[in-house]
């Protein structure tokens, strides 16, 4: 059988196809990762704090740090800080994000809605005082937090347009059981519902910005306070660690959810 002579165009196409088939699959470049946010992102409550982080209480057990330790990113910077609000992230954390940043995580909003004051009211006050405080936080989450998130998320995108941004939310605080020392179930149920309002604002803000939303509530389900699992602190000393994830909560609650979407 006589072989047909290939035209220059056909020959070029054939060579390109052979080169493509023979090429090794490209591997993703290691991430340039920046972690933003509040105490749930810094790891307040998880121990093993970096002394250089001071009052920001950045822990080596926090989900950003444990993810970085396991995945060897090209670079890792956590500027998450206990007590931070959306305004604080804009003013003092956002500068860590640059055009070359490829992965950003952020957990924020709890301090905007007054988490600390709500918990203090619910621990020390009556059911009606607790419900009123939670309701005020829910109203803030529904009406005032969304524009703050839009501003913040737009700023993150503006500094790193190509970055994969993951918005990580907050767990419920309580497993509702018939008996558990501490707050009654009226308060516990209200606090869980308040978390849902906050998380709904984060989910919508992430979707509107084109970011990834990572919901930890199902991962924490059955492991909250009153479950006996030790994933969250109740009232503890130092007081600032109260109602925050333990090292176990960071590693078994937050880390798997973030890892599943971080890429």
Asked whether 235 and 173 are in contact (CB, 8 A), the reply is: no
Which residues are known to be catalytic? Answer: 39, 244
Please spell the DSSP secondary structure of 198-262, one letter per residue: HHHHHHHHHHHHT-EEE--HHHHTT-SBTTTS-SB--S-SSGGGTTSB-HHIIIIIIHHHHHHHH
Angstrom distance (rounded) from CA 150 to CA 210: 11
> Is 253 in contact with 223 (CB distance < 8 Å)?
yes
Contacts of 211 (CB under 8 A, 6+ apart): 153, 165, 166, 167, 205
Token pair in block for residue 90: 């804009």
**Element containing residue 173 per DSSP (H, E):** none
Quick check: 146 and 204 in contact, CB under 8 A? yes
The alpha carbon dihedral of 230, 218, 67, 114 has a sign of negative
Contact 209, 150 (CB under 8 A): yes
């Amino acid at each position: 059988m006589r072989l047909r002579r290939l035209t220059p165009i056909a020959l070029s196409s054939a060579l390109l196809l052979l080169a493509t088939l023979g090429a090794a699959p490209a591997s993703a470049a290691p991430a340039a990762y920046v972690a933003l946010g509040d105490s749930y992102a810094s790891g307040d409550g998880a121990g093993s704090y970096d002394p250089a982080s001071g009052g920001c209480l950045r822990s080596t057990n926090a989900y950003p740090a444990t993810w970085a330790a396991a995945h060897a990113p090209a670079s890792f910077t956590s500027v998450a800080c206990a007590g931070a609000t959306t305004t604080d992230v804009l003013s003092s954390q956002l500068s860590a994000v640059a055009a070359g940043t490829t992965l950003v995580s952020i957990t924020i909003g709890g301090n905007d809605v007054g988490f600390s004051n709500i918990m203090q009211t619910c621990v020390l006050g009556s059911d009606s005082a607790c419900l009123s405080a939670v309701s005020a936080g829910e109203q803030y989450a529904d009406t005032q937090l969304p524009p703050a998130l839009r501003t913040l998320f737009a700023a993150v995108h503006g500094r790193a347009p190509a970055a994969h941004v993951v918005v990580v939310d907050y767990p419920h605080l309580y497993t509702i059981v018939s008996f558990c020392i501490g707050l009654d179930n009226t308060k516990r149920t209200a606090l869980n519902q308040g978390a849902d309002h906050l998380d709904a604002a984060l989910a919508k803000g992430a979707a509107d910005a084109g970011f990834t939303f990572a919901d930890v509530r199902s991962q924490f389900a059955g492991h909250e306070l009153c479950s006996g699992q030790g994933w969250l602190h109740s009232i503890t000393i130092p007081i600032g660690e109260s109602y925050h994830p333990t090292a176990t909560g960071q590693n078994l609650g937050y880390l798997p959810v973030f890892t599943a979407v971080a890429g």
